Amino acid sequence: MIAIISLTALGVALGLGLGLAARFLRVEQDDGLASEIEAMLPGSQCGQCGFPGCGPAAAALASGSAPVTLCPPGGSALVRQLADKLGVKAQTSGMKESVPMLAVVEEALCIGCTKCFRVCPTDAIVGAPKQIHNVLREACTGCGKCVDVCPTMAVSMMPMPVTLQSWVWHKPAPAVAPAVAA
Amino acid sequence: MSHISHAPHAHAPTSISRVMWLVIAALVPATLFSIWLNGWPALLLWLVTVGSAVFAEFFCLRLAQRPAAPVLADGSAVLTGWLLALSLPAWAPWWIGALGAIFAVVVVKQVFGGLGQNLFNPAMAARVMLLIAFPVELTTWVQPAPLFSADALSLSQSFALTFLGQMPSSFAALSGATTLGHIKTELTRDISVTQALAAHGQSMSASLFGLHGGSLGETAALLLAAGGLALIALRVITWHIPLAVLAGVALPALLLHANDPARYLDVTTHLLSGGLILGAFFIATDPVTSPGSPRGQLIFGFSVGLLTWLIRTYGGYPEAVAFAVILMNALTPVIDRYVRPRIYGHASKAASKKGAAS
Amino acid sequence: MVRWGVHPDARKQAASPQDIERLPLPAMLHIPLLQHSGAPAKPVVSVGQHVLKGELLGARQGNISAPVHAPTSGTVVAISDYPAPHPSGLGVLSISLEPDGEDRWIELTETDPFSLTPAQIAERVAAAGVVGMGGATFPSSVKMLLGKRSQVHTLLVNGSECEPYLSCDDRLMRERAAKIVEGIRIVLHAVGATKALCGIENNKPAAIEAMRHAAADFAAIEVIALPTRYPMGSDRQLIHVLTGQEVPSDGRSADVGVLVHNVGTLYAIQQAVRFGRPLISRVVTVAGGAVARPRNLDVLIGTPARLLVEHCGGLREPPARLLMGGPMMGLQLPSLDAPIIKGSSGILALGAHEIAQEQPSPCIRCGQCVSACPMNLMPFEMSAHIRIGDLDAVQGIKDCISCGSCSYVCPAHIPLSHYFDYAKGELTARERGKMRQESIRQLTSARKERLEREAREKAEAAARRKAERERAKAATAKEATS
């Protein structure tokens, strides 16, 4: 009986202590965090995350109302960085492994209207008025803004092609599944 | 491109089941000897223990809805049951073996995730559990009565003993303590080690050949050592752990016995009794629960030996190997964390510092 | 002494006793422009063009690159993607050459290698497209220049050939020892080293004998019999065994004053420097249980692997696995259409009994991988971290040389080295992702600057125009008032 009472009392006291600590010793999250996160984001304001731009997205990340997986152009590298920064677990498994995409201009359809390169956040499309436009692979973030503005549907997105240099080994199939996984 | 095989495209002729069955094969001579020495009850206990271990493994696998046949064929459950049987008193009742084996396989091994995932050596954890829960059954030793000798129990008497707990009245007088147990008792009565040993009336050759009371596998030190050496020769185990365990016991024994022979037991008796040889070659070397690097294995083995000697000399239990192994099992992850081989091309100090930091 | 490594069954005796045979001229060659580590070569010929044997097909581009040359005279019929000799089966830009059957060389002049300066030698080696022929395919001239700069004192000649089945280096040393020795002397001359140690595993007594004989007149060259143990042919292990020194983890062999070249590479260097012959052919071991008559062939670069197997009597059973290279580190070939490249030491067709593949079972932490690892890593622990995706916790992944010793000995048949190659790829991809993100950020800010600048210029221009208008207006008003 004494044991039960003393343990309960101990539990209550420690719980109270933790609760108070959480209240009074809370780490202040200031706007500094949001701006730090904004610096980590690509900054192309592409809007794929659903926020109007990287700034609002960073604010949402800092307040914890957006998942760290929100930014497709950042890829899994960014997810990990953000998870480290915010001290949360990177849920890369839940995030469908999005293949990096690339914009391609179909030359037969391009009329050289320059709309696409004016919206491109990274200046990845080169061309001049009345000339066929071309996409610089290294600079394209796969945001897809150019697809939306093209009047002749000459721009489309395709997965980044795998080359001999970028090919990597797949993960080996696990051994006999451990019992806990069943 | 669904199936691309990665190098190497050749493999050494080895497998888990080969390793396990080789260890079992190395135990066979000593086991046969023990069964001969202790009579039918030993055989019955051995059968019950191994059978229970296999059944428990089967049951767990079915529960987890995994195919049982390939896992059972790897021999790990048989080995667990076998080692446990060898660490029990030969005339223990059947339920001791069954309970121990089920505990070893279900609680110590499968609950942790099955083969390779357990923290503690299943056989030794089960033995420790049994020793604490059923001290009487685990410390009732009988003088050996070899098969076909005049004193031996008949098969029916053995059934009655093992399964019904009926000790034939004529045998009550035969029960006796193990060497270590005897000396521990005598020491508490202020009788010196030398006198106690003499009174126990056991020669060194008897220990060597196992002609004395004790658990099944505690007896035939020579046969066990031969099996262990065969395993080293076949590269199933390395020499590091067995040597370190024996050294861990022998060094303090040597020093302190030289200092005060009346208080401290001599080296030979230490090495040849209490299942130390079984522990050094077959139990401490369990790969799952011992460190992976050679240096870690040396530390692990020496600590097991030292703890064994400490517990034997100063502790309450005379048979200390199981406790020593379990204690060091708990430290294995720590050893693996901090004792690692120096990676080629890394400066030794910097490498270890870097390793600890990352 | 050597405590690492494994002893795979050598299985060299099928091919090693036969002399090297020259493969007849194939009907078509497919020469990939990327056969080396570094940047691919850039095609300098056009479709329909006739080329002579040894003529440049692709020029090197970038610091680390190598040119490719026409293996025989003929017509360029295509410059397009052709399946690479690689497990992915991906295409690589290749030049398809239809031989004209004349096998006519470009004009070659013989030069005394020892009258050349080190820089000239390096240039000739670079122009000949010589790369490391042991499999690493690193451009040899780059290695030589690096050696020259970091004052290498010893050349290590790698004749260990520790991979099972392969005997192309063995045959080369037996048949062309004098040329290899001249190659050694050329490299010694070019990098200013004073000593050469030639390490050959002691299971090749004939090669050791031939090399000792050829090097007898040169005091600087010493031939050393090495214990037979895989992976003796790995640079770092060979250096340690021959010199007792360890290459720092983040360093190169030149940091400990040595330079390692494979015997095949030294032969190619000799051919390039003395005769000006580019690297257009190599010796390839064709072996494995499924090959009818295993042997070593002298093959033009670009020859489809199928022709080699056919020349060796074809397949006597359906192969369980086709490989380029040895069984320990070789790459699986999706098909025999893949061409021979500069780094192809062997074409193996293995039977099912030879690959001994089994389903992996759980790790029992037995530590066999730890004692086998030549880099002193703890493979079982590393793979456990990789399996659960915790790549940051893996210690020593950068030090792994992918030799496969751990997988070879693992009683649980866990594909350890596959895990490590996966982790290396994943880490590289992460690094690339980070760099990409960085460059995207820079591009974005560049664009922002550009837009701001344009806006500013526009505003300035507008302001200027406005000011001019105002001035004009003021002027007219003044005029009007006056």
Distance between A7 CA and the closest CA of chain C, angstroms: 38
Q: Do B60 and A179 touch (CB under 8 A)?
A: yes
- On the question of pLDDT at A32 being above 80, the answer is no
The CA distance from C195 to C173, in Å, is: 19
Give the number of other CB atoms < 10 A from CB of residue C306.
16
Note whether residue C218 is domain-resident: yes
Helix, coil or strand: residue A167: coil
Q: Which helix (H) or strand (E) holds C59?
A: strand C56-59
C92 domain-assigned:
no
User: Which is higher by pLDDT, C264 or B212?
Assistant: C264
Residue B64 and residue A179: Cβ atoms within 8 Å? yes
Please say which residue of A63, A86, A109 terminates a domain.
A86
What pLDDT score does A31 carry? Answer: 63
Pick the more confident residue, A135 or C112. Answer: C112
Residue B356 in this model has a pLDDT that exceeds 60: no
Question: Letter for the amino acid at C400?
Answer: C
Nearest residue of C to residue B4, measured between CA atoms? C87
Alpha carbon distance A48, C87 (integer Å): 36
**Burial of residue A108, with CB atoms counted within 10 A of its CB: 0-12 exposed, 13-18 middle, 19 or more buried:** exposed
Q: Is residue C75 part of a domain?
A: no
Q: What angle do CA C150, C156, C157 make, to 5 degrees?
A: 135
Query: Chains with ≥3 Cβ pairs under 8 A against C?
Result: A, B
Q: Which domain holds residue A129?
A: 101-159
Q: What pLDDT score does C169 carry?
A: 96
Same domain, A79 and A110: no
Cα–Cα distance list, B335 to B290, B347, C253 (Å): 9, 20, 33
Question: Nearest CA of chain A to the CA of B291: how many Å?
Answer: 21
Q: Residue A145 CB: number of other CB atoms within 10 A?
A: 20
Average pLDDT over residues C374-380: 94
The domain total for chain A is 2
Cβ within 8 Å of residue C326, ≥6 positions away: C163, C164, C165, C166, C345, C346, C348
Rg (CA), chain C: 28
Binary contact (C437, A74; C-beta < 8 A): yes
pLDDT number for residue B206: 56
Tokens 């210690």 belong to residue: C395
Identify which has the larger pLDDT, B220 or A90: B220
Q: What is the pLDDT of residue B211?
A: 55
Task: Give partners of B (≥3 CB pairs < 8 A).
Answer: A, C
- Quick one: B316 exposed, middle or buried, by C-beta within 10 A (0-12, 13-18, 19+)? exposed
Q: What are residue C41's DSSP bridge partners?
A: none
Helical pair C263-270 and C140-149, crossing angle rounded to 10 deg:
90
Token pair for C62 = 């970038």
DSSP string, C6-23: B------TTTTTSPPEEP
ipTM: 0.83
CA nearest to C89 within chain A: A164
Domain final residue, candidates C283, C303, C325: C283
The one-letter amino acid code at C242 reads: L
> Is a pLDDT exceeding 60 seen at residue B173?
no
Is the model more confident about A133 or about B230?
B230
What does chain A come to in residues? 182
User: Last residue of a domain, which of C227, C261, C283?
Assistant: C283
Asked if residue C133 and residue C276 are part of one domain, the reply reads yes
Final residue in a domain of this structure, among C233, C251, C283: C283
CATH of the domain at C478: 1.10.1060
Q: Residues C226, C233: contact at Cβ < 8 Å?
A: no
Nearest to B282 by CA among B243, B326, B247, B237: B237
Nearest to C233 by CA among C395, C397, C345, C347: C345
Q: Is residue C97 part of a domain?
A: no
Q: How far apart are CA C386 and CA C380, in angstroms?
A: 10
Winning range, highest mean pLDDT, from A114-128, B167-181, B190-204 = A114-128
Q: Is the pLDDT of residue B287 over 60?
A: yes
Stretch among B90-94, C228-232, C333-337, C417-421 having the lowest mean pLDDT: B90-94
The sheet carrying C321-324 orders its strands as: C21-22, C295-300, C281-287, C346-350, C321-324, C331-332
Query: pLDDT value at position B53?
Result: 95
Asked if C227 and C123 count as a contact pair (C-beta separation under 8 A), the reply is no
- In A, which residues are within 8 Å of C426 by CB distance? 168
Q: Which of the listed ranges A162-176, C188-202, C468-482 does the model predict with the highest average pLDDT?
A: C188-202
Tell me whether residue A178 is in a domain: no
Q: Which of B6, B70, B110 sits opposite A179 (nearest CB)?
A: B110
pLDDT in tens, B30-43: 899 888 888 888 88
C335: in domain: no
pLDDT, mean of residues C250-259: 89
User: Would C151 be classed as within a structural domain?
Assistant: yes
The tokens of B106 are what? 């279900």
pLDDT at residue number C331: 93
Taking the C-alpha atoms of residue B331 and residue C473, their distance in angstroms, rounded to an integer, is 93
pLDDT tier for residue A181 given thresholds of 50, 70 and 90: very low
Query: Could you give the 3-state DSSP secondary structure of residue C183?
Result: helix
> What pLDDT was estimated at residue B353?
45
Q: Across all residues in chain C, what is the average pLDDT?
A: 92
Flag whether C181 is in a domain: yes
Put simply, whether A164 touches C (Cβ < 8 Å) is yes
Highest mean pLDDT among A77-91, A131-145, C152-166: C152-166
Whether residues A107 and A155 share a domain: the answer is yes
Alpha helices, DSSP H only, in C235-376?
235-243, 263-270, 305-311, 352-355, 368-372
Give the Cα separation of C359 and B334 in Å (integer): 31
Q: Is residue A67 part of a domain?
A: yes
Q: Per-residue pLDDT averaged across C294-315, rounded?
A: 95
What percentage of chain C has pLDDT greater than the value 70? 100
Residue-level pLDDT at B169: 59
What is the 8-class DSSP label of residue B120? S
- A73 is a domain residue: yes
Q: Are residues C218 and C118 located together in one domain of the fold?
A: yes
Size of interface A-B (CB pairs under 8 A): 20
What is the distance between the alpha carbons of residues B138 and B326, in angstroms, rounded to a whole number?
Answer: 18
DSSP reduced 3-state for C32: strand
H-type alpha helices, C84-165: 118-127, 140-149
- Given a contact cutoff of 8 angstroms between Cβ atoms, the answer to whether A136 and A59 are in contact is no
Which tops the pLDDT comparison, C293 or B203? Answer: C293
Of A12-26, A36-50, B172-186, B304-318, which has the strongest mean pLDDT?
B304-318
Confidence band, pLDDT 50/70/90 cuts, at residue B350: very low
pLDDT of residue C62: 86
Percent of chain A predicted with pLDDT > 70: 86
**If we measure between CA atoms, which residue out of C6, C2, C10 comes closest to residue C372?**
C6
Nearest residue to B38 (alpha-carbon basis) of B220, B228, B179: B220
What b/e sequence results for B142-172 when a residue is b if at least 16 CB atoms lie within 10 Å of its CB, and e otherwise?
bebbeeeeeebbeeebbbbbbeeeebeeebe
**Do strands C295-300 and C42-43 pair parallel, antiparallel, or not at all (unpaired)?**
unpaired
Residue B213: pLDDT over 80: no
Q: Does A179 touch chain B (CB under 8 A)?
A: yes
Q: How confident is the model at residue B317 (pLDDT cuts 50, 70, 90)?
A: confident
Q: Give the CATH number for residue A143.
A: 3.30.70.20
Chain B hits for A175, Cβ within 8 Å: none
Q: What is the pLDDT of residue A56?
A: 83
C306 inside domain? no
Cα dihedral C93/C98/C104/C105 (nearest 10): 0
Maximum separation of any 2 CA atoms in chain B, in Å: 78
The pLDDT, as a whole number, for residue B352 is 45
Domain containing residue C262: CATH number: 3.40.50.11540
Higher pLDDT, B319 or C365: C365
- Residue C250's pLDDT is 86
- Considering the domain architecture, whether residues A111 and A69 belong to the same structural domain is answered as no
Of A103-107, B251-255, C138-142, the one with minimum mean pLDDT is A103-107
The helix (H) or strand (E) run that includes residue B297 is helix B294-314
pLDDT score, position B1: 38
Highest mean pLDDT among A25-34, B321-330, C452-461: B321-330
- Cβ distance B9 to C355 less than 8 Å, yes or no, reads yes
Strands (E), C140-257: 154-158, 195-201, 221-226
| β-strand partners of A156 | A104
- Residues C235, C139 share a domain: yes
Q: Evaluate whether residue A12 is within a structural domain.
A: no
Contact B345 C164 (CB under 8 A): no
Could you give the CA distance from residue B317 to residue B323 in angstroms, rounded to a whole number? 9
Residue B60 and residue A169: Cβ atoms within 8 Å? no
Nearest of B329, B222, B327 to residue B278 by alpha carbon? B222
Tell me if residue C315 falls in helix, strand or coil: strand
CA dist., res. C148 & res. C163, Å (int): 30
Average pLDDT over residues C304-331: 94
d(CA C115, CA C111): 8
Query: What confidence category does residue B354 fall into, taking pLDDT thresholds of 50, 70 and 90?
Result: very low
Domain presence at residue A119: yes
Q: Which residue has the higher pLDDT, B320 or B202?
A: B320
Q: Which residues of B touch A182 (CB under 8 A)?
A: 64-66
* Higher pLDDT among residues B331 and B67, named by residue: B331
**Residue A180: band (very low, low, confident or very high) from pLDDT cuts 50, 70, 90:** very low
Assigned CATH topology for domain B16-338: Ammonium transporter fold (1.10.3430)
Do C399 and C274 have their domain in common? no
Minimum mean pLDDT range among B161-170, C296-305, C440-449: B161-170
Domain ranges in chain B are 16-338
Residue bearing the bigger pLDDT, B70 or B293? B293
Q: Are residues A80 and A37 part of one domain?
A: yes
Confidence band of C205 (pLDDT split at 50, 70, 90) = very high
**Given this model, what pLDDT does residue B301 score?**
96
What average pLDDT does this structure show over C393-408?
93
pLDDT digits (tens, 9 = 90+) for B99-118: 999 999 999 999 988 888 89
- Token pair recorded at residue C16: 């090693």
CA–CA separation, A102 and A96 (whole Å): 18
- Provide the pLDDT for residue A179: 36
pLDDT top residue among C111 and B210:
C111
Establish if A165 belongs to a structural domain: no
- pLDDT above 90: residue C279: yes
A172 touches chain B (CB under 8 A): yes
C125 and C261, same domain (yes or no):
yes
- Residue C114 is part of which domain span? 21-25+110-283
Task: Identify which of B112, B109, B40, B113 has the alpha carbon closest to the alpha carbon of residue B77.
Answer: B109
Q: Which residues of B touch C361 (CB under 8 A)?
A: 15-16, 70, 74, 115
pLDDT at C299: 96
| Chain A contact partners (≥3 CB pairs within 8 A) | B, C
Identify whether residues C123 and C264 lie together within a single domain. Answer: yes
- Cα–Cα distance, C142 to C125 (Å, whole number): 9
CATH code, domain with A77: 1.10.15
Q: CA-to-CA distance for A177 and A173, rounded, in angstroms?
A: 10
Structure tokens at C292: 């009818």
pLDDT band per the 50, 70, 90 thresholds, residue B165: confident
Give yes or no for A178 touching B (CB within 8 A). Answer: yes
How far is it, in rounded angstroms, from Cα B15 to Cα B5?
A: 19
Name the pLDDT band for B212 (thresholds 50, 70, 90): low
From chain A, the residues in CB contact with B17 under 8 A are none
Establish if A14 belongs to a structural domain.
Answer: no
Are C434 and A73 in contact, with CB atoms under 8 Å apart? no
What percent of chain C is modeled with pLDDT above 90? 74
- Whether pLDDT at C186 is above 50: yes
